[in-house]
A and B are shown apart, each in its own frame.
Chain A
C-alpha cells in the first residue's frame, strides 16, 4: 500500500558545467520529467532552468536553508566545483551575492538530506577539469580519481550517505529520475552504489552489453574509420568493454547510443575520462595489441582468443565491418537458391 509522504524538497544548483545534464533531463520520457517528479513526491524548491523565482527570492531560499529555517532533502549540483584561482573560488561567483558558488555549495551540502552530484563534472571534475585544469575544477567528493573534492572523503549527508555520483557526460535522464525516485521511496542505501558512489542500477552494466556491434566484436571484425559498421575497439578508441553504464540497453533519445551513432564510447561515466592520454577516437596499441583490454579479461587470453576469432571471421562480417551500411546479409541455409 502506497503511503503518502511529505514531499521531498529538492534544490538544484549549477557551477562549472554546460547545463547539458539539465537539458538531457528535460528529455525524460515515459513519463516526462514533471510527471516523474510528481510520482516521486519531489517538490522543486528551486531549479535554475525551471523555476519562476529569480534574484533575491532565490538567495532568500538558500539563506533559509543555511539558517535551518527550511528543510533541504536533496541537493543536486550540476557542473564542477570551481576552486580557482588559488583556491578562492572567484572563477565562479554566485550572482547577486558576491560570494563564490563553492562556499554556498559547501554550506548547503552540510544541511542536505542527500547530496547528488549530477554528471561527471560534479562527481569528479569532468571535462571542466581537462588540460592543465587551470580553473581548479573538482567534484563534490573527488578530484579526478583522488578522494577529496570540495567536501572531502568523509563527508556524509544528513541521511548518512556519501555524495551520490550520477556520473556521465551527460547523464541519461533515467539514471537521475530513478535514483531520485528510489531516494524518495526510502529504497536507496549504501548497497545501491559502486566504489565510485555511482548508482549500481546503471553501473552494474558495461556499455558493451547490448551493443548492436557485438557480433563484430566476437570475430574481431573491426571498423577502420568512423561510420564503419564494425567493432570500434581495435582502431577507434572504443571503451565500451571497460566503461560502466547501460547505454546500449537503455535507449537514448528514443533509440540511440554513442555506438549506434557510429562513434566510440569514451567512458564518460568514469573519473578522468576527459584526459585519456591519447586521441579519443584512436586506440593506442603496443605491438599491435590494444592497450585498454576488456574489463576482467586476462591479456594472454584476449590475445589468444582474438587471433582465433580473427581467423574464423565470416566474410559477411569482414565486409560489413568496413562499410558504412550493412552490405551483405546473413544467409538462410533453409532457403534453396
Chain B
C-alpha cells in the first residue's frame, strides 16, 4: 500500500487536501481535509441581526448570493416576513444568475481542463479536447468568459453588483426595476440563450430540457459530431473514459428546494433514496468527532450548534464538520436537486448506474437549460410600479432557519436572536455535506466514499481520476470552513 497526499488542489473554490491510501492500482481509503478555518459563525455573535446580510455573503465569493438568500430567509422567518411577488421574482433571478454562472464556471474553467492533461495524450479524442478545454489557453474559455460576463449584467441591474450584493433582504429586493430595465433583462437573456444554444448545447434549450432517458440522451448525442457542441464533446469523452463508473454516490440525495413563486417551487424540497421521501429538517445534526472543534456532544442540531476551534483535537483531521440526516450521509448538488425534482433523464441515469461523475455533470448542464427557461418567465412576470420589498421590525428574541439551494447543493443558515443581537449563528454549506469527514460511527463522508476504488495510473502523483471525482462535486471549500 502507498500513501499519497494530493494538494494544493486547484480549480476548486478554496483549499483542499486529499490523503489517499492506494493498493493494487486503486484508492483504498480517502481522507478529505479542509485545511483552513475562518470562523464566520463566531464573527456573527453579538452583531445586530441585519448585519448578517453584510457578513454572510462574504463567506463565499462564488456563491455569495446563495449565502445572502439563506441569511435573508433565516431573518425573514425570525421576523415573520414574506416577500411581495416582485421581490420573490427578483431574488429568484439574482439567485438563478449566480447558480447558472457557477455551473458554467465549473464546467468550462474547473472541470473540463482536466481532459486536456498530458496523461490523456494517447487518447483518440485528446487533440480536440486540448484545443478546446486547455486551462486559460483553450478556445472554450475565450467563448465562455464574455458570454458569462454579459449574462452577469443581470446582476448589475438587479443586485447592483456581484459578488457581495446587499440587495437581497428578508422582505424582498432593494432594486425595483422599470419597464425599460425589464426589456434590457429580456435582451440579456436572449443573448445568453443564443450562447447556450450555439456553443454549449448545439440545440434548443427546450430540446435539452425534454431529454427523458439515457437512450434519448445517447441518441441526441449521436445526431452530430462530438465537437459540434461542448455538451456533446463532454458526452463523448465521458463515454470513452466510462465516467459512469467513476465516483459512485454512496448515500441518499437531499434538496432544500429552490426558486419559490407564490408558494410553488421550481425544484421541490425532499430526499431521494430509491424514491422520493419528505425531508425532515429537524433530522439534521452536525457531528464533530473528526473535525477540529470542541464539543460536549458528538452531534448537535444547528440551532444548538457550536463552533469552538480545537486545533489539537485528537483524531480530528479537517475544519469541515460532518452533517448527517438521521445519522446518514447525504449527497447534495444539481444531481440531488434533479433527482428530488423527478426529472426523468436524471432518474433514468441514476436508476441505471447510480450517482457518478457523468451523472453529476449531466444534471448540472440540464439544470442550466431548465433554469434559463424559468428565468425568461420570471422576467416577464415582473410588474414595474408594484412593490419589490416589505419591511418589518426585527424582534428582540426569535429564531429562524434559512434554507436555500446553492449551485453546489443545500445551504442552511440557522440564527437565534436574543436581546436584539445574534446569540447563535450556524451555517451548513453544501460542500460540508459532500466533503464531510468521518462521523462518530466512522462512516466516511460522500466524497471520501466516492474516492474509494478510484483507479490510479502507474506513476501518477496527482491521479487524474481523483481530480475528476473531486471536481464532479464542484466543491466550495471557503463556504465549508466559513
Contact = CB atoms under 8 A, between A and B. Distances in A.
Nearest to A48: B10
Nearest to B177: A325
Interface string B171-190: 01111101000000000000
A92 interface: yes
A113 interface: no
Given A52-B134, A227-B389, A253-B162, A27 B176 contact: no
Contacts, number: 260
B164 interface: yes
A256 B156 CA distance: 4
B58 interface: yes
Main secondary structure of the interface of A (DSSP, over half): loop
A262 B311 contact: no
Contacts of B222: none
Contact of A19 (B61, B113, B145, B175): B61
Contact of B42 (A33, A57, A132): A132
29 contacts: A18-B60, A19-B13, A19-B14, A20-B60, A26-B109, A49-B110, A52-B113, A52-B116, A52-B117, A54-B467, A55-B6, A55-B462, A91-B38, A91-B309, A96-B8, A131-B43, A131-B47, A135-B39, A170-B164, A225-B389, A227-B175, A253-B153, A256-B156, A259-B160, A261-B167, A262-B174, A262-B175, A280-B50, A280-B166
Contacts of B81: none
A27 B178 CA distance: 25
Nearest to A131: B43
B160 A254 contact: no
A95 B8 contact: yes
Contacts of B44: 131
A305 interface: no
Contacts of A132: 42
Interface stretch (B332-340, B359-367, B380-388): B380-388
Interface residues of A, number: 76
Contacts of B62: 18-20, 23
A95 B159 contact: no
A130 B55 contact: yes
Interface residues of B, number: 86
A218 to B, nearest CB: 22
A55 B174 contact: no
B130 to A, nearest CB: 11
B60 A95 contact: no
Interface in A11-40: 14-24, 26-29, 32-34
Contact of A279 (B51, B110, B172, B175): B51
B142 interface: yes
Contact of B61 (A18, A46, A258): A18
Given A18-B59, A170-B61, A227-B174, A258 B8 contact: no
Given A21-B61, A131-B44, A324-B387, A261 B166 contact: yes
Contacts of B135: 50-52
Nearest to A78: B61
B22 interface: no
Interface in B1-45: 5-11, 13-17, 33, 35-39, 42-45
